[in-house]
Chain A
Amino acid sequence: MALPKQVIDRLNRESVQTPGWSGQLLMFSSTIFFISLAVYGGIVFGYRPYLEKQISDFDAQIADFSKTIPAEEQNKLVTFYSQIVNLREILRQHQVFSLLLEWLEKNTVATVYYNKMDFLLSSGQLNLLGYSKTVDDFSRQMIVFQNDPLVLRIAINSMSISTNNMWQFNINLFLSDAAINQPATQQ
């Protein structure tokens, strides 16, 4: 017995309305594939050439920098800068030796005098050869030196009575760095 025509039509319609998930899946996966291809193409053919062009532009700028300021001008400026920097250092260490002489004058007992003085900057050592009227005068002189903050240490090398009935002495004063560099600050 043949099926009625309505039934046959209905069956045909139902087959057309089969679920569309496979088509959607195809659409989805193909979209992902093409997007990934597009991203790769964008990176390789778009962004990377752009970055490489940027790098070459920067390289060209860097190469031009050396031409911006002539080498002669650079040298002159560096020399002037060096002079200023070195001057600051030299002036910082500049010695004012006359102040040390003034300090010695001020700190010498009236009955003591020197006939030889030797000063070596590198060691800060002041060697004095002199005379005092009496041993007491010499002692007072030593106490004056000993009490002065400029003097780190005293060494008495010799002391003896001389032909002119005065006491001849030979001493070493070891002076502090501050005293040697800027004696005025210690006065």
Chain B
Amino acid sequence: MLISFVFFVAALIVYFNLIVPAGDEEQRVKAQAISRENFVKNQQVAISQVKKLISSYKGEGELRDVVSSVLPLSPDLAGAFSQLSGLAQVNRLLIRDVTVSTPVNQNAQGNNNADDAVSQPLANPFSSVDFQMNVVGSYSDFKSFLKNLETNIRIFDIKKITLESSGKPNQEIYNYDLTVETYYQSP
């Protein structure tokens, strides 16, 4: 009878002093294992998607070239100036003055709504460069220049424009001050 009592008490001691703490510790370790398992599963899915994207990205060399023409990976000031002056020449406008501002870092996400910002955490911001131009020419040629500028492969946005008669009577010649903004992808 006494031995039975001792066994019973020993069983209780083992349960409360050893099994219960060990069970708590085991739960903690199990939770760690489950969280790592979920992380690994999610990462495996993400990696397989990224691999698919990389393989499709490698096959889309032409698309990459087009995208890089629209939004280059560097300021490419010479290229931008060449396009602006080419468009002016094609439309018979005389460039009298060009000033280029320092590139400014922008953030597309900052302009998005909250949902977009959440869905685009990986995107690097883009930067912009301003060209201040003074050109002279006829109104119709200037309109044609604007249309070409707005549909140019590299994106140009007009921020400020001043159009002023050159003062010569019976001539449709105007003086134009333009501030044109163009963009490039920040590294």
Contacts and interface: CB of A to CB of B under 8 A. Distances in A.
Interface of B: 1, 3-5, 7-8, 10-11, 14-15, 18-19, 22-23, 25-26, 29-30, 32-33, 36-37, 39-40, 43, 47, 50-51, 53-54, 57, 64, 67-68, 70-71, 73, 108, 111-112, 120, 122-126, 143, 146-147, 150, 155, 157-165, 183, 185-187
A143 B160 CA distance: 26
B26 A82 contact: no
A43 B23 CA distance: 7
Contacts of A39: 19
A118 B1 contact: no
Nearest to A88: B108
A62 B150 CA distance: 48
Contacts of B159: 120-122
Interface of A: 22, 25-26, 28-30, 32-33, 35-37, 39-40, 43-44, 47-48, 51-52, 54-55, 58-59, 61-62, 65, 68-69, 73-74, 76-91, 93-98, 101, 115-122
Contact of A91 (B47, B124, B155): B155
6 contacts: A26-B7, A77-B53, A77-B54, A78-B123, A97-B150, A101-B143
Nearest to A99: B150
Contact of A79 (B33, B36, B73, B112): B73
Contacts of B126: 82, 86, 90
Nearest to A96: B150
User: Lowest 8 A-B CB distances belong to which pairs?
Assistant: A58-B36, A29-B7, A89-B108, A115-B165, A33-B11, A29-B8, A82-B124, A85-B123
